[in-house]
């Protein structure tokens, strides 16, 4: 086995040491739950009768109690393109389970919110907290004690983190995540970006913009750009929680169905009554979490996971922080260029070697932990394989990763990367701590020093842009966008106008206690700034004209104001809470949310996790 890179080893030891007590408490919990928790054999007859009353032909097997009963937790809806293919999965999974003497039931459904639909709209203020709602929904489904394993059906932004958080509280169960795959490639992403910027400048109308968007998002499957949804799939791969090569097979294909079938068969082999018991809480350990960070950095994945990964880790008793990301980013090279960091999409990435090549090459470079407990192999290297159908019978087999990338404009070896670092930096100073994704930002733009223009709403920024008030070097500050303020919506619709200003030759940056899209773009941005404005974060004291210095190279985020004047300033007045679109129902989550660096979760904070 290749020797682990010293910095990867050091960060892993740092995480282990920091998590020692909380991880021990978690492992004790799942051991108790396995031995003394709520399980089918312990259910009273009335409980059990309710649980199998509608199970039809599976009823005798469930009554007998000798075979695994798989709980399906599904995030299906047919409005969200990525999750529309899940509609018929439960009936297929039941058939696949019967093939090996097992049974399956839908344990419960979860919300599946589409950020693409709510982006820039009021509903986006529910987005982050939908993750905790999904975790709660998964917990409700699994709480019945009817199941010896779980199949999690989810792909997109908050959905996979939410499913993982919920399932980890039942970490004694074996669990496999089952994706449904990306839609086939449509309009090239660069062309879509071009039309968006033309629309922001008023050079094309809504008709042309809608035609462009419809040609890009055109069918069933995950969006093909490398945002949060596809970063989720990458992380599940490098954590060994998928069947090998499962992430980026298109929906509706025989190969996709064969891999789903294999996942259900495999789930029956790793149950607690066999000799290959692999509970989720043991699969997700400190090394697996470090692998997820490394994979995120190596592929230029979504900045949203600087929030989601700490929350997922906490559910398993593991504590990580943004310094872990920063230290790993210094040694993990960027080996993939997938839009918005490159021209090609995830289908092109998959064809170029995809996740199998990424996993194999990063293990060989000593950057991934190979010695983790996965759902489908002896080590992570067994996941560096691609599924294929062979022969007239379409027998499923798994082939080793290609020795070299098949398209070096999309994918490169760690020895010859696109850039030497992972492109996600911690910046800090007298404004707090924030995340800066550098992988899509030109190196000469990674240090900006310019006057601030302060806003409390992204629509105010759009209005100022249209009025010509931002035609200069400027650091756009958008505050009161954190979890406690308004639920931390993504500020995705700022990307086109800020990109226009940058293309016009201005030095432009964004500083916010909110989020950008999972597809953070070419404009330098310090995002997730903590502490946020609500509760006294320093961003609340910035005034128009203050000089702000943002430098990824220096790891610096500072306002250059005389210290005495700075300390004398009062905090800005918080805008009133938004009403309508259900936002008022989530007030308790906003009020209880902790910092973005811990995951921005009221649920985990209240649970003491």
Q: Quick check: 42 pLDDT over 90?
A: no
Find which of 29-43, 52-66, 203-217, 584-598 is predicted with most confidence, using mean pLDDT.
584-598
Q: 3-class SS at 160? A: helix
Tell me what the mean pLDDT of segment 56-67 comes to: 91
Predicted model pTM: 0.94
Q: Quick check: 160 pLDDT over 90?
A: yes
Listed in order, the ranges of the chain carrying CATH 3.50.30.80 are 422-574
pLDDT level of residue 440 (50, 70, 90 thresholds): confident
Given this model, what pLDDT does residue 184 score? 87
DSSP string, 116-151: HHHTTSGGGGGHHHHHHHHHHHHHHHHTTS--SEEE
Given this model, what pLDDT does residue 362 score? 98
Q: What percent of the chain has pLDDT over 70?
A: 98
Given this model, what pLDDT does residue 208 score? 76
pLDDT level of residue 458 (50, 70, 90 thresholds): very high
Q: Binding residue per annotation — 223? A: yes
Q: Quick check: 518 pLDDT over 60?
A: no
Q: Quick check: 38 pLDDT over 90?
A: no
pLDDT level of residue 415 (50, 70, 90 thresholds): very high
* pLDDT tens-digit series, residues 162-177: 999 999 999 999 999 9
Tell me what the mean pLDDT of segment 64-86 comes to: 95
Given this model, what pLDDT does residue 206 score? 78
Given this model, what pLDDT does residue 189 score? 67
Given this model, what pLDDT does residue 205 score? 80
| Cα separation, 161 vs 147, whole angstroms | 21
b/e per residue, 197-208, with b = 16+ CB within 10 A? bbbbeeebeeee
75 membership: H or E segment, kind and range? none
Query: Regarding the domain with residue range 422-574, which homologous superfamily does it belong to in the CATH classification?
Result: IlvD/EDD C-terminal domain-like (3.50.30.80)
DSSP string, 307-326: HHHHHHHHHTT----HHHHH
Contact 29, 299 (CB under 8 A): no
pLDDT level of residue 420 (50, 70, 90 thresholds): very high
Contact 529, 511 (CB under 8 A): yes
Strand partners, 149: 70
Q: Quick check: 447 pLDDT over 80?
A: yes
156 membership: H or E segment, kind and range? none
Q: Quick check: 318 pLDDT over 70?
A: yes
| Cα separation, 123 vs 125, whole angstroms | 5
| Cα separation, 248 vs 226, whole angstroms | 11
* pLDDT tens-digit series, residues 110-142: 999 998 888 888 999 999 999 999 999 999 999
Contact 521, 499 (CB under 8 A): yes
When mean pLDDT is compared across 28-32, 206-210, 496-500, the lowest value belongs to 206-210
In 10 A of CB 22, how many CB atoms? 17
528 membership: H or E segment, kind and range? strand 525-530
DSSP string, 197-228: HHHHTTSS-HHHHHHHHHHHS-SSSB-SSSSH
Q: What percent of the chain has pLDDT over 90?
A: 82
Pick from 104, 16, 27: nearest CA to 315: 27
b/e per residue, 149-168, with b = 16+ CB within 10 A? bbbbbbbbbbbbbbbbbbbb
Given this model, what pLDDT does residue 218 score? 73
Q: Quick check: 335 pLDDT over 90?
A: yes
* pLDDT tens-digit series, residues 177-227: 999 999 988 777 677 778 877 776 778 787 777 677 767 777 899 998 898
Quick one: how far is CA 558 from the chain centroid? 28
Q: Binding residue per annotation — 156? A: yes
* pLDDT tens-digit series, residues 44-56: 999 998 999 999 9
Mean pLDDT, the chain, integer = 94
Task: Please report which residue ranges of 149-285 form alpha helices under DSSP H.
Answer: 159-168, 189-200, 206-216, 228-238, 254-269, 280-283
Strand order in the sheet with 175-177: 103-109, 69-74, 149-153, 175-177
pLDDT level of residue 431 (50, 70, 90 thresholds): very high
Tell me what the mean pLDDT of segment 415-435 comes to: 95
| Cα separation, 395 vs 150, whole angstroms | 25
| Cα separation, 448 vs 339, whole angstroms | 24
Given this model, what pLDDT does residue 396 score? 96
Q: Quick check: 492 pLDDT over 60?
A: yes
DSSP string, 409-432: TTB--TTS-SBSS-SEEEEEETTE
| Cα separation, 453 vs 490, whole angstroms | 19
Q: Quick check: 233 pLDDT over 90?
A: yes
* pLDDT tens-digit series, residues 346-375: 999 999 999 999 999 999 999 999 999 999
When mean pLDDT is compared across 113-122, 279-288, 323-332, 563-572, the lowest value belongs to 113-122
Q: Quick check: 461 pLDDT over 70?
A: yes
Task: Classify 91 in phi/psi space as left (phi over 0), alpha (psi -120 to 50) or beta.
Answer: alpha
Strand partners, 559: 548
Contact 238, 368 (CB under 8 A): yes
């Amino acid at each position: 086995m290749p020797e682990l890179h010293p910095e990867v080893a050091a960060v892993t030891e740092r995480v282990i040491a920091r998590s020692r007590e909380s991880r021990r408490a978690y492992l004790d919990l799942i051991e108790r739950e396995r031995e003394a928790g709520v399980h089918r054999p312990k259910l009273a007859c009335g409980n059990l009768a309710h649980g199998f009353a509608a199970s039809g032909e599976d009823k005798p097997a469930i009554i007998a109690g000798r075979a695994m009963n798989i709980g399906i937790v599904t995030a299906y809806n047919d409005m969200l393109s990525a999750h529309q293919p899940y509609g018929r999965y439960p009936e297929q999974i039941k058939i696949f389970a019967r093939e090996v003497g097992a049974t399956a039931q839908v344990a419960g459904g979860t919300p599946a919110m589409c950020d693409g639909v709510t982006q820039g709209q009021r509903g986006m203020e529910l987005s982050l907290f939908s993750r905790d709602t999904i975790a709660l929904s998964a917990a409700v489904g699994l709480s019945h004690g009817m199941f010896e394993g779980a199949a999690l059906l989810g792909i997109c932004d908050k959905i996979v983190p939410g499913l993982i958080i919920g399932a980890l509280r039942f970490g004694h169960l074996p669990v496999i995540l089952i994706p449904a795959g990306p839609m086939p490639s449509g309009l090239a992403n660069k062309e879509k970006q071009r039309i968006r910027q033309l629309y922001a400048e008023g050079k094309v109308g809504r008709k042309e913009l809608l035609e462009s968007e419809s040609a890009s998002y055109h069918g069933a499957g995950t969006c093909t750009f490398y945002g949060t949804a596809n970063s989720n799939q990458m992380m599940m791969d490098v954590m060994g929680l998928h069947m090998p090569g499962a992430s980026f097979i298109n929906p509706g294909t025989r190969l996709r169905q064969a891999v789903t079938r294999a996942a259900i068969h495999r789930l029956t082999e790793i149950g607690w009554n066999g000799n290959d018991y692999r509970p989720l809480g043991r699969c997700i350990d400190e090394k697996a979490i470090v692998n997820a960070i490394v994979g995120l950095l190596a592929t230029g994945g979504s900045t949203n996971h600087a929030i989601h990964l700490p929350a997922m880790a906490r559910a398993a008793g593991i504590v990580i922080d943004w310094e872990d990301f920063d230290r790993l980013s210094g040694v993990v090279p960027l080996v993939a260029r997938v839009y918005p960091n490159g021209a090609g999409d995830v289908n092109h990435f998959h064809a170029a070697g995809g996740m199998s090549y990424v996993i194999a090459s990063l293990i060989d470079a000593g950057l991934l932990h190979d010695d983790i407990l996965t759902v489908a192999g002896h080590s992570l290297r067994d996941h560096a394989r691609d599924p294929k159908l062979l022969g007239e019978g379409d027998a499923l087999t798994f082939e080793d990763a290609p020795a070299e990338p098949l398209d070096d404009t999309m994918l490169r070896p760690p020895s010859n990367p696109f850039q030497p670092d992972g492109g996600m930096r911690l910046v800090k100073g007298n404004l707090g701590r924030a995340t800066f994704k550098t992988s899509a930002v030109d190196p000469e733009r990674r240090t900006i020093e310019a006057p601030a223009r302060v806003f409390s709403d992204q629509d105010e920024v759009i209005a100022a842009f249209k009025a010509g008030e931002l035609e200069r070097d400027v650091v756009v500050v958008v505050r009161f966008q954190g979890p406690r303020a308004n639920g931390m919506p993504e500020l995705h619709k700022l990307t086109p106008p800020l990109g226009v200003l940058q293309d016009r030759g201005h030095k432009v940056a964004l500083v916010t206690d909110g989020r950008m899209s999972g597809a953070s773009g070419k404009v330098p941005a310090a995002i997730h700034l903590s502490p946020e404005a609500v509760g006294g974060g320093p961003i609340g004291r910035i005034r128009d004209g203050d000089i702000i210095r943002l430098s990824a190279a220096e790891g610096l985020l500072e306002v250059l104001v005389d210290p005495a004047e700075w300390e004398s300033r009062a905090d800005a007045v918080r805008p009133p809470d938004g009403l309508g679109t259900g936002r008022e129902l989530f007030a308790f989550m906003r009020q209880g949310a902790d910092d973005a660096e811990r995951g921005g979760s009221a649920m985990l904070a209240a649970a003491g996790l």
